[in-house]
Amino acid sequence: DVKVTQSSRYLVKRTGEKVFLECVQDMDHENMFWYRQDPGLGLRLIYFSYDVKMKEKGDIPEGYSVSREKKERFSLILESASTNQTSMYLCASQPVGDGKHEQYFGPGTRLTVT
């Protein structure tokens, strides 16, 4: 059973703080993703990584950075949190190989920036 875990379920931060969201997967998946989920907008891709130390910008990378130093861990960093980054953040992992594969999601982190 694939397990994707996120470090926090709920997080409250102040404007201007540096925020770290951690994601860990235990199935040796190559691809990992960070999305934000907002009502009416669905899931929007922030960044994804297809290998250790590799990253690609998604649709809304502004204000975010990521780090993937180990295959199982993918971190999302908000350098200076702003109120418009209040959202639900979802991490996902995905194997690559034969065919196309589903993404496996973590439980989400609800971030509130005040």
Partner 1 sequence: AQRVTQPEKLLSVFKGAPVELKCNYSYSGSPELFWYVQYSRQRLQLLLRHISRESIKGFTADLNKGETSFHLKKPFAQEEDSAMYYCAPDNYGQNFVFGPGTRLSVLP
Span near partner 1 by CB under 8 A; candidates 20-28, 62-70, 78-86, 92-100:
92-100
Which residue is it, tokens 């996902």? 92
x-or-dash string of contact with partner 1, 41-80, rule CB under 8 A: xxxxx--x---------xx---------------------
Minimum CB distance to partner 1, residue 100 (Å): 4
Site for partner 1 in 11-40 (CB under 8 A): 31, 33, 35, 40
Sign of the dihedral defined by the CA atoms of residues 11, 76, 43, 7, in that order: negative
Which residues neighbour 16 within 8 Å (Cβ) at sequence distance 6 or greater? 80, 81
- In which element (H, E) is residue 22 found? strand 19-25
Tokens encoding 100: 């196309």
Q: Which residues bind partner 1 (CB under 8 A)?
A: 4, 31, 33, 35, 40-45, 48, 58-59, 90, 92, 94, 96, 99-100, 102-103, 105-108
